[in-house]
Chains A and B, each alone.
Chain A
Amino acid sequence: MDKIARHFDLELLNTLLVIAESGSLSAAAPKLCRSQSAVSEQVRKLEEMCGLPLLVRGKTGASLTPAGRRLVDHARELLARSDAAYRDMQGVQLAGDLRLAITDYFRPSALPGILRRVRDQFPRLHLHVSIRKSALIEEEAAALGDFDIGLSMAIWIKAAPEIEPPGRTPDCVASA
């Protein structure tokens, strides 16, 4: 028994709730995918933490003590809050497919790092990356093509303006 524990274990509270709803430890055990002795041990832990008996074990099943009934009410509320928090995170951490169409010329050395960051930040996301020609990306972006994000490169034909727009890098000729 951990004497300094001050937080209820949601697993244990869930066990108590399932026992209350199913009327006995033996009926609750299969619903919890645990043995009856494991369920009994969970109740014992909860009772030790509260310092009160929560269940009265009778021949026909288990019934809640007044303290047990109060704790079940709290348990229902806490578990509902926990479910809501979980669903909220599922919404934030979006799942699904993300289709990226990108030019071959865009920072080839930086791309692996970008893909890794996307994976770390959105682990439930399926990323599809296709390397395409810029002209095709721009054409399809206008026509609502088969990708979600398009990144293309365009040659700056006009004379360079005085203020550099962001995202432009000078061309250069390279040889081995």
Chain B
Amino acid sequence: MPGDGVLPLVVLPNTCSLQRFIVAKLNAHRVHFKIAHSASGVGGLHLALAAGLGVTCLNTSSVPESAVAFTGIPRLPPLPEVEFRLAPPRTGETAVISEVTDMLAEQFS
């Protein structure tokens, strides 16, 4: 955390709902931040974190092993949980679609 008290953020483009949510949340809590790095996907976000470029907001299951939770100043607002959703089955769904859907659903537990 740099001495100016401004939080360096690593983000995805604002077309990402989670990124818009983070920025709105930080603004609502009057946290001063700057966009230190912008990545095009979660893979790029991981690289920026590994390079120590800043702080970001991720769901637990996509936090890379090398990252650590940010506990410094400024204090950050609490975050809600996220939910993963499988698109509802469609009529005429084939056996293979059902099987792969089940394999993905197993990852939820």
Contact = CB atoms under 8 A, between A and B. Distances in A.
B35 to A, nearest CB: 15
Interface string A120-138: 0110010000010111011
A110 B6 CA distance: 34
A168 B68 CA distance: 21
B99 A155 contact: no
Nearest to B57: A173
Contacts of B53: 176
A165 interface: yes
B54 A104 contact: no
B11 interface: no
A108 B107 CA distance: 12
B65 to A, nearest CB: 8
A171 B86 contact: no
A176 B46 CA distance: 9
A85 interface: no
B56 A175 contact: yes
Interface string A90-115: 00101010101001111110100010
Given A149-B97, A151-B104, A175 B67 contact: yes
A106 B62 contact: yes
B85 A154 contact: yes
Contacts of B97: 98, 148-149
A141 interface: yes
**Interface band, chain A:** 35 or more
A23 to B, nearest CB: 45
Given A94-B96, A155-B21, A104 B86 contact: no
B2 interface: no
B63 A153 contact: no
Nearest to A150: B87
A33 interface: no
A175 B49 contact: yes
Contact of A153 (B52, B69, B83): B83
Given A107-B61, A122-B96, A174-B55, A152 B49 contact: no
A105 B16 CA distance: 11
B104 A176 contact: no
B5 interface: no
B88 A141 contact: yes
Contacts of A110: 61, 107
A51 interface: no
A169 to B, nearest CB: 5
Contact of A176 (B41, B66, B108): B66
The winner among A114, A154, A176 for most chain B CB atoms within 10 A is: A176
Nearest to A154: B83
Contact of B100 (A100, A134, A165, A175): A100
